[in-house]
Structure formats: C-alpha cells, structure tokens
Structure 1
Amino acid sequence: MSTAETQKQKRKVTVIPGDGVGPECVRAAQRIIEAAGAAIEWEECEAGASVFRKGIASGVPQETIESIRRTRVVLKGPLETPVGYGEKSANVTLRKLFETYGNIRPVRELPGVPTPYSGRGIDLVVVRENVEDLYAGIEHMQTPGVAQCLKLISAKGCEKVVRLAFELARAEGRKRVHCATKSNIMKLTEGLLKRTFERISPEYPDIEAQHIIIDNCAHQLVKRPEQFDVIVTTNMNGDIISDLTSALIGGLGFAPSANIGNDVAIFEAVHGSAPKYAGKNVINPTAVILSAVLMLRHLGEFEAAAKIEHAILVTLEEGKVRTGDVVGYDRCATTTAYTDEIIANLGRKSQRHRVRDYRPIRLPQLGPEPDWVRPKTRRVVGVDLFIESSLAAEALGRGLEDLVADLPLKLKMISNRGTKVYPPTGAITDCVDHWRCRFILRDESADLTDAAIFQLLQRVSAKYRWMHLEKLQEFDGARGFTMAQGED
C-alpha cells in the first residue's frame, strides 16, 4: 500500500495542547497513540489562555471552531479559566458550542496507586448532563445585594443524558444505573430528571435502575463505592461527585473524561493546567492518555485502545517508573520516562486487572424541534412579581393590596428567599430587599391575559421598583410552579 493510501485512511482529529502542563500531557498521549498504530492524523489548534490574551472573550478562536466542525473529534489539554471575573470558561464554551450534552467520567481502581479504598474493586462511571442546569451561566444581580442564577433543566436534555447512561451501560456490559438528584427539594428541575429516568428505564429491562438522592449518593460513594456501576445526574451534581469519585482511585491525575454529543465529541483530562509544574517534565499524563483511550473507542479503534489500557495497567503494576502524585515530586520519574515505559509495554497484557470488552455506544437520536413537550391544555393563573424594597413585609403587602384592589388579580402572598412572610405566619425570618410577590386571579377558572399583567405592572411600577416577572402556568391541569415555605 502506498504512503498516500495509508495517509488517506487516517482519521483527522483536532488536538488542542492547552495551557500549563497540557502540552506535555497531550504530547505523551500522541506518542503512545502513534506507537500503538492507531490511524490518527492530528490537526493542531489553540484555545484558552493564549486566546484570551489576544482579546477573544470566548477563549476559542474561529479557526479552532472550523477545525472541530471538520473533524468532529477533539483531544484537548487543560485550559486556564478566569475565576470569579471576566471571560467565561473556554472549556464550557467548547462543550456548549457543539452540544456535547453528556460528560462521561469513568474511574476504576488502578494497580500501584495506593488509596484508602485499595482492594475494594471500584469501577464506575459518572454520566453528567453537560450543557444546562446552573451551568447555563444565566446570572443577574436582582438588587444590589441579591444575586440570581437560573437553573434550567429541559425535558429534552434529561432524555438525552438518561438514554446515554443506559446505552453506555449496555456498551460496557454494566448492570446497574443510579439516577442521582435533589428532587426532594427541587421538585420541578431536579424532579424532571427523576421522572424522565423512571419513564425511560423500563425500555432497558436488562439493566437495574435505581433513584438515589444526591447527598446520599455522595455519602454512599465514600462509605461503599463498589456498589455503583453507572450514575447519571445533573450538571452541577455531576461536576461535584465526579471529582469525589476521582479522589477514591488516586486523584485527578488518573481521571479521564469524554464530552459526548451526537455530532462532536471532546476528550480531555479532568484536572487543571497546574501552572507551577508546567515545563518541568514531572506531571502525570495518565488522565490525558486514558482520555485518548476513550477517544479511540469512540472512533472504533478498539484494538489500539485495549492495547494502550493494558500497557498502562502493566506499567502501574510493575511500578518501575512512578509519577509524582503517587510517590512525591522529589523522587518521581519524568513524564517522558513514564511515557516511554508505557510505549515499551504495548503488546503486553495485565494478568490481574481486567480490560472490559467494549461495543460502540448507540447515541440517542432525538428530533431537532425546540418545542419538545406539547401540552394539550395550558393556562396562566397568576404571576410572581419580584420587587426590590426596603419596606417591611407587612407594609409592602398592604401597599400592594391597595394598588390592585380593583384589578382581576389579588395578592396571595409575599415570600423572601423562599419563605412566606406575608400574610404573617409567626415565623422569624431575616429578610433582604428582594421580595417575591405572588398575584393570582380572583376568578380561579379564568385565564390571565397579558393585558391584565401589563396593567398590574403599570400600577406597581408607579410606586415600587420591580426587576423580574414569572407567569404562573398550568400544563394539562398540573401546576407548573412551586409553593413557598409556609404557603397554603
């Protein structure tokens, strides 16, 4: 076969070396992939700190976006992210631009990496919804002293990530999926994932399905982690517990991840850019290498992926070269020496540690229509109007009641940070200047019109400062809003 024909068969992959230790880790993974004989051709691009310095606020230049559109697969090093100010995370930008809706975070006990859990046989995967929830990043200062972040959970997003979790379990020969939510408190948002999980799970009778409250899940992960196989959860919950699971098996240096979408997949280590170790040739590249293994499986390169995973296991078992996060940076092997050892062990198989038989994951295919849920009936029964005021609850309540006395709406209650404070309940509440004022129709069978809402706003805005309004809706006769603490 000619060189041109061989080159033609190679699969192009966008590679982003990243910031800090990223280039060292990514280069180690590239060397191992090439030595394993995988048919990959790299298209190098940039994102992160170097791009922010050029004044591109997203941290992702157009050339990188175009490369990913072409290749559809990315191997990425860690990127620096401004903390608490300035630009958004380039990592999150990449995930959202290409609708990589599922974050897959596998962890397993590794030989030669001692932890308090050694010998317990930890081998689980966290499947995290990856593009919505609080990480939609929609925040507002509602008053000078009260900030809001919108927690957006969609039925469509829940369905995609739940199906991905079950399909991953099947592809990896796993037998149990837990759905971890905080639906006991957030009954509409977190509850939507729980209800979706319970609706879909009967389609997978070969897999045991269980729901678990997220705080109990964290507790059980520390107490008895070997009981878990696959955990599917919302974005922020998944971010937190997947870092917890990484700690159980030796830390972020051994934690790979895959950001999966139906069109694009991005593979990256979980750890950050660790600038204090950059350029010192001492960083542990295992997380990026294992992320590359996930990438190879995604591309159907199962033989090369298994060869590399076995070589990592053999290298860790024999312990001839060990990384600084395991033995300390004063006596560790270099990143280069560790990579060389893995390459030398390609073709060898671990006799004590299993490499799973993997099949391609069947990704969920959902239609593109935005109106994913279409109720048969809907009705607006009132509004929550958020008002900024330095008045006490009783004075504010009486003033609002006087304003709407002749309108089709009446004031039902006022809450402060979720607790009903008017009409008074006798509770002791430390209030701030952010009041949720709930107005409902006097005629409970009517449908609230926008004209009536505008009339309410005109009345209220003449006397008070308001910043936000939510319609109170019923869909198919079910209430689409929650009650305040203490509200009847």
Structure 2
Amino acid sequence: MTTATKTVTVIPGDGIGPECVKSAQEIIAASGAAISWDEQIAGASAFRQGIASGVPDATIESVHKTRCVLKGPLETPVGFGEKSANVTLRKLFETYANIRPVRELPGVVTPYSGRGIDLVVIRENVEDLYAGIEHMQTPGVAQCLKLISRKGCEKVVRLAFEFARAEGRKSIACATKSNIMKMTEGLLKRTFEEVAKEYPDIESWHVIIDNCAHQLVKKPEQFDIIVTTNMNGDIISDLTSALVGGLGFAPSANIGNDVAIFEAVHGSAPKYAGKNVINPSAVIGSAIMMLRHLGEYEAAEKVENAMLVTFEEGKHKTGDVVGYGSPEATSTTAFTEAIIANLGKTSSRYRKREHSPIKLPKVSAEPALVFPKTRRVIGADVFVEANQLPSVVGPALEAAVEGSPIKLKMISNRGTQVYPSRGAITDCIDQHRCRFVLRDLSAGNEVTNEIINDLIARVTAKFNWMHIEKLQEFDGAAGYTKAQGED
C-alpha cells in the first residue's frame, strides 16, 4: 500500500448520494488507504443557485487540482431545463471512456446465477448523440446531431484493448448499428478493425448492437469486453447490470488521460433519501475502481474482499434485494459496518482477477487525424420547411434552380425519397431534405461556395430553409448516404 496521501474531489450528490458516498468514505478510511477528501457540490444544489451547468467554478477548480473524483448520483431535469451535470463533468474533463464492470456476485441471487458472468462494457463517453446538439427544425420537427469522430473512436477503442491487457482479458466485441448508420456507427467499426491489428493477442469481433442485446440476455457469459458508442453503451450497460442484481451493484469509471471520475450509475432516488435503506454497493464498487486507479491496490483488494464476504454471509441484504420495508432488510449503516468488520477477510468463492495499471492511449491532440488525398463538393442537401406535399415542393425547386450549374436530384422526407415519386407510402412532415447535385459531374467540376450561396438565395425565394450540408467526396468515395429508395 502506498503511503503518500492522495486528495480526491468528492461530490456527495443528490437524493441518496450523500448516504452512499459516506458509506464508501468510511470503508476506505477503515481500510487504511491514504486518501483525503476535498468536498464540492454539483447537480441539484448548484441548479438551485442558478448555475445553469450544474457544476460550480469551485468544483471545476478542485477537479483540475486533484484529477480524481468520487461522485454520488446527481439530479437532472428530464425533458426540459438544464443540461445534465453528470454529462457536463464528463465533457469538461474529456473522460472519453466509461467503464462498467459486471460480474456475478456471491450471495446475490439472479436468474443468471451460476453462469459465470464476468464482462465489462466500455462506452465512448463524450460524443455521439450525447453531444446534445439539438434544434427544432420546424415547430413540429426536432433534430439531434449524432457526431462520431475518428479521434473519439480511436481513443475509446485503444483504451478497451489496453484495459483488456491490464485485466488479462482475451476477447473484445465491438457493438454498433453500422448496418444502418454506415457513416457514424460504421466509423467505430472501421476504427476498431484497424486498431485490432495492433493487438494480435486479443480476439476481436463485431456484433450488431441489437443482436448484442439479444445475446446478452441469451448467453451473457460469451462476452468478455464490449466496446460501443455512447447511446448504445448507455442502454446495454444498464441491461448487463440487471443480469447480476441491478443498478445497486453497478460501479463505473469515467476515464480520461487527465482526469478520472468514479460514480455509481443509478439515479438519486429521492424517495429513499435520508431513510437509511439504500444499497451503497455501487458507490463502494466505484471507490474500489478509484483505489486501483490511484495505485492503492492493497486497499482495493481489501475492500473488495470485505464486500464479497459480506455478500457471501447473506446476513446483510438491503431493500433492493429483499424488498423495502421487509423485516429482513439491512440498513445502509448496518451494511457499511458489516463490510468494515470483514476487512482483512478473503472471499472463498470469488476468483481473483489480476489488475495492473491501464496504459492510457496516446492519440494526437491535433484536431484533424484523417487526411484524404483528394476531396471535392458535388452538391448540397438543403433542409426546407414547407407545408406542401413533395409533388408541389419538387417542381417549385426545379424551377428555382433553372439555369444554375446544379439541379434537384431528389427530395426525401423522414429518410425516404418522395420526389421524384418511387411509389413510397410516406406520411410526410413539413421538413424536406432537398438534394442538389452538379448537372455535370465530370472530373474537375465542383460545387463552390459561390454556387451554394446562389443556391440558398434561389431556395429562399420559394421556401424557408433551416439547415444545409455539403455533399463531399473523399478520395473518390461519397461522404454522405443515400435516402431510402434513392438511386
């Protein structure tokens, strides 16, 4: 065990958070780990102070100093109001990978008990739909931009392979929806397959995310590590937690090259706050991950074994296991005391896994990582608001660009080509994607900014537009996808 004291920013959180965090702090202190705490706030208490991000400057300054955070759950308004303070913290400190270990626990009985589940979901943590870039395109049409970068993919993929080596794991599955979203989800798949060549000691394979969910329910023991995009990972990591007892047992780590944030993944459960009935295991598990991150391996093993022995004894089961209000339910404080009493004991039924420091990936800090030899713009997609059917919008736009170097190729509505009609039965909305391309696509011809400016002026004379995307080719390959039914 190391002797130098390490300071950790602790954010007790909202609802049940303070009780869970206090439990973890007491156990860490009893283990002898050399940890001191700098307590800060985020979430509901910050929102009440009028801090729109939910993260005060003092908290940000603390994290910059300590580089390590133990955090309770934070409240976030749902469907309105401020951004998630949880997501804000992850983004502010570029904690680009979320690590969610899921392992069968002794004494925690589930329909999967005895199957030997021992897997980890590693989720990209800062981009994808969680970039949170949303717009109302029309009064009745909302848009969210799904941003996937080569840099983001490479960082999380490399971390997944390095994590596998650090824990002696042998297999990584990359789970994507690249059969539908070939550009965005496909970028993770292509990056994974390229990086995997550098790790021949680890088996790598790809699985479509819906099949992955199916297989996790059917045969979860086949998985070792799953690496996936942000939204997909958010969903399947909660699914995997349910396989071993639920979110009350689900720790997580948000890992970046500069800062690491450790937190339970469950919510703040305000209806149970202050009642001394909540299961603190997820926060304790997150604290164990934190101890390993800080090099406190002896203390981490000590705390983990004490918690496992407590599970094995079967005497201390919290309300989420036996039912809140049950006479068998153990209080949060009694559960904490039982773990402290078991410090120094070793689990007899839990196979020890070796842990070594994770070699954090080194990916260039330059904004651009991909450099095509050739590129050109061959057209543009203009999104317009029109309360008319495509049979009216199409001819109007064709007339508008008469005499221009570009022509209207097609209009899609909700992703399906509706003009020229292909016979699709589409219940149209008032947002139309209008694809314009060069009339002459011969080599050397290109759509310039002047042509696009002229196009927008012509479209504006007819319709209200709200969004435009250039149609680009990189090294001769289309940098855009076709609509359903488009030739």
TM-score of the superposed pair, with normalisation by structure 2: 0.98
Match of 2:473 in 1: 474
Where structure 1 has 5 or more consecutive residues not aligned to the other structure, the ranges are 1-5
CA contact (8 A) 1:104 1:128 kept: yes
The one of 135, 156, 164 aligned to 1:161 = 156
In the superposition, relative to structure 1, how do residues 7 and 160 fare at CA in structure 2: closer, same or farther (>3 Å)?
closer
Match of 2:114 in 1: 119
Other structure's SS at 2:370 match = coil
The one of 268, 271, 274 aligned to 1:273 = 268
Quote the Cα distance in structure 2 between the aligned partners of 1:81 and 1:337: 30
Match of 2:398 in 1: 401
CA contact (8 A) 1:412 1:440 kept: yes
1:93 matches 2:88: yes
Match of 2:462 in 1: 463
1:362 matches 2:355: no
Match of 2:336 in 1: 339
Q: For 1:291-313, what per-residue CA distance to the aligned partner results, in whole angstroms no more than 9, with x for missing partners?
A: 00000011111111011111111
Show the 5 A alignment for 1:45-444: 45-330=40-325, 331-444=328-441
Other structure's SS at 2:469 match = strand
Q: 1:8 Cα deviation (Å)?
A: 8.8
Quote the Cα distance in structure 1 between the aligned partners of 2:482 and 2:2: 62
Match of 1:33 in 2: 28
Of 319-328 and 339-348, more deviation after overlay is shown by 319-328
Q: 1:365 Cα deviation (Å)?
A: 1.1
Q: Kindly, what percent of the aligned residue pairs are identical? A: 74
Q: 1:442 Cα deviation (Å)?
A: 1.1
CA contact (8 A) 1:267 1:294 kept: yes
Q: 1:49 Cα deviation (Å)?
A: 0.5
Quote the Cα distance in structure 1 between the aligned partners of 2:430 and 2:212: 36
Q: For 1:103-132, what per-residue CA distance to the aligned partner results, in whole angstroms no more than 9, with x for missing partners?
A: 000010011111100100101000000000
Q: 1:426 Cα deviation (Å)?
A: 1.4
Aligned residues: 483
Amino acid at match of 2:153: C
CA contact (8 A) 1:172 1:359 kept: yes
Amino acid at match of 1:343: I
Quote the Cα distance in structure 2 between the aligned partners of 1:261 and 1:459: 47
Quote the Cα distance in structure 2 between the aligned partners of 1:319 and 1:78: 27
Quote the Cα distance in structure 1 between the aligned partners of 2:169 and 2:2: 37
CA contact (8 A) 1:293 1:305 kept: yes
RMSD: 1.1
Quote the Cα distance in structure 2 between the aligned partners of 1:321 and 1:454: 69
Quote the Cα distance in structure 2 between the aligned partners of 1:283 and 1:424: 58
Q: 1:282 Cα deviation (Å)?
A: 0.9
Of 311-320 and 152-161, more deviation after overlay is shown by 311-320
Match of 1:3 in 2: none
Quote the Cα distance in structure 2 between the aligned partners of 1:205 and 1:453: 47
CA contact (8 A) 2:174 2:207 kept: yes
Where structure 2 has 5 or more consecutive residues not aligned to the other structure, the ranges are none
Of 314-323 and 240-249, more deviation after overlay is shown by 314-323
Of 147-156 and 371-380, more deviation after overlay is shown by 371-380
Amino acid at match of 1:337: A
The runs of at least 4 aligned residues of structure 1 exceeding 3 Å deviation read none
Q: For 1:418-475, what per-residue CA distance to the aligned partner results, in whole angstroms no more than 9, with x for missing partners?
A: 0001111112111111100000011214111000111111111012111100000011
Other structure's SS at 2:197 match = helix
Q: 1:94 Cα deviation (Å)?
A: 0.2
CA contact (8 A) 1:310 1:355 kept: no
Other structure's SS at 1:9 match = coil
CA contact (8 A) 1:309 1:355 kept: no
Amino acid at match of 2:266: H
CA contact (8 A) 1:306 1:355 kept: no
TM-score of the superposed pair, with normalisation by structure 1: 0.98
